Amino acid sequence: MNKFGLVLLGLLGVADLSTPLTTDGDHPPMSIAIGSAVIGLLSLVLVGLAWRGKRWALAPLITLRIASALLAVPAFFASDVPAAAVVAAGVGVGATIVGVVAVLLPRRELAGAR
């Protein structure tokens, strides 16, 4: 598994964890912000386990990160969402895609590094 992907998914988990502190209560609603924080905390635990070589942690980690990205999708369709929140949602969804793909890519070893 690729450590870059784990780092990126971990950073997204930290961002999710801080969501209740950055919301105005409407964008996103506090219930979504708290759900996002729970997903972020669980993601960080799973990143730590995956970093230590527990491959079983990857499936729930990827599932949680995709769920987090899906929580951001309404920002693209609601009319009263500030532009900064839409941009943040877009960056989060894009980073999630990159992180998941990076984790799933086979690790490449340098020639002669064995």
Residue type, 29: P
* Domain boundaries defined on the chain: 3-104
Structure tokens at 9: 């998914």
Q: Quick: pLDDT tens for 11-47.
A: 999 999 999 998 877 778 888 889 999 999 999 999 9
Residue 85 confidence (pLDDT) above 90? no
Rounded to whole angstroms, the Cα distance separating 50 from 6 reads 8
Q: Which residues pair with 26 in a beta bridge?
A: 29
Mean pLDDT along residues 92-110: 87
Closest listed residue to residue 65, CA positions, set 10, 109, 22 = 10
